[in-house]
Amino acid sequence: MKALKAANRLGVVFFPAFDWAISPTHPERQERLLYTQDQLREEGIFDIEGITEFKPDVATPLDVYRSHFVFPSVEQVVTDSHFISAGGAIKSARLLMEKRVDRAFALVRPPGHHAMLTVHGSRGFCTINIESVMVEYLREHYGIRRVAIVDTDCHHGDGSQDIYWHDPDVLYISMHQDGRTLYPGTGFPDELGGPGARGATVNIPLPPGTCDEGFLYALDNIVLPLLDRFKPELIINSAGQDNHYSDPITTMNFSAQGYAELTRRLKADIAVLEGGYSIQGALPYVNLGLCLAMAGVDTSQVREPDYRPERFVQKPRITEYTHSLAEQLMAFLDNIPSMPDDGEVDGEWFVREHRVYYDTDGISERRKDKVRLCPDCAGVLVVECRSSLNPLSLGVRVPFGACPRCQEEGRRLYEVAARKGSPYRYVQIIDRVNKVYEHWGD
């Protein structure tokens, strides 16, 4: 019998986080990956030539500070498991950039796509955004600039969207269950990014009950054309698996075969596990399909034990809705309003206020974001926030490619805020031009 060989060398980075769970019976616990590990070994996936398992790296506080304003500090908020989960994503990126693999899949937990630019604790089972930590590591160490993140988790990745809201060089696309029916209640088509990054955020809210047909139609008619237009250097898949028909906390009808086909068509360079809570019924089969599809190996025999195609024929109204959504969304993206309608212009700044609730930790946050309306770059960003856990704090972000004026203004704002007598308890600067990541406070 001829041995199987992968068309694409695939690196699988595995970390189940044995010592971390929200509670012993919470859906986000170590069994999410232990059943997958058993299934992959039982199917002999690592016997396929070209598919190799790797151990994760460990992310550092500096890696986290490139992506987040963390109050009071990274060391006081982030656990060892989160550092290793993010390190697993970084290891996947390093394997790819060092040309040791053609594609990589970070099968790690805890997940991250609900972790926002500011971090006071955990929300949506997430503390730090592991995809963003990985992307910013890539951009700093390998000179990568244009990245596309395609989020296929059933829940809208509001954290990833928030981090890249003002970044025109990161295209964030989220396919998810309509926010009117599921946490976090966001992710609508009019959420398009900040003034200097309009259209770099794209949301595709799909109705409950969407099957393989609807997901693949949205991929072919929205996602792939946008990727072709954007021309990223790398494609990252936030590979949430809670769109599966057996997931206990969502109401979609995606199958392991559908996930495998989506993965084959998307051709992501790196996939990072996000949600998915059908521990026995879905994850072992979906992850097997993803691994085989990324490796370019036949997936036609991947099936859940209870899968019956006749049970998952998409309703005509959902098909009609999905087709209409694709047509209207693509037309809308060709005529984007120049300014968001969720804030106001104050001199040379665009100001936006919003509230964030950390449902996992029960923390409430109030934020005011100010981005400079700069004709020469994406603009320095200033974030002022307070939460039920932390007093008034400030973050300043100087983006890649910032002009001299924005660099100077960012540094000035940080130095003024980080003085004795300042109203801010904690102050942090993320300066991507000069690679300066400082934080101040007691």
Under 8 Å between Cβ of 67 and 311: no
State the SS3 of the chain: CCCCEEEEEEEEEEECCCCCCCCCCCCCCCHHHHHHHHHHHHCCHHHCEEEEEECCCCCCHHHHHCCCEECCCHHHHCCHHHHHHHHHHHHHHHHHHCCCCCEEEEEECCCCCCCCCEECCCECCECCCHHHHHHHHHHHHHCCCCEEEEECCCCCCHHHHHHCCCCCCEEEEEEEECCCCCCCCCCCCCCCCCCCCCCCEEEEEECCCCEHHHHHHHHHHHHHHHHHHHCCCEEEEEECCCCECCCCCCCCEECHHHHHHHHHHHCCCEEEECCCCCCCCCHHHHHHHHHHHHHCCCCCCCCCCCCCHHHHCCCHHHHHHHHHHHHHHHHHHCCCCCCCCCCEEECCEEEEEEEEEECCCCEEEEEEEEEECCCCCCCCEEEEEEECCCCCEEEEEECCCCCHHHHHHHHHHHHHHCCCCCCCCEEEEEECCCCEEEEEEC
Which of the following is catalytic: 114, 120, 156, 244?
Answer: 114
Under 8 Å between Cβ of 307 and 211: no
Q: For residue 114, indicate whether it is catalytic.
A: yes
Under 8 Å between Cβ of 69 and 118: yes
Calpha distance 130→89 (Å, rounded): 7
Between the CA atoms of 24, 27, 29 and 30, what dihedral angle is there, to the nearest 10 degrees? 120
Calpha distance 13→28 (Å, rounded): 19
Please state whether the peptide bond connecting residue 110 to the residue before it is cis, i.e. omega within 30 degrees of 0. yes
Q: Which residues are catalytic?
A: 114
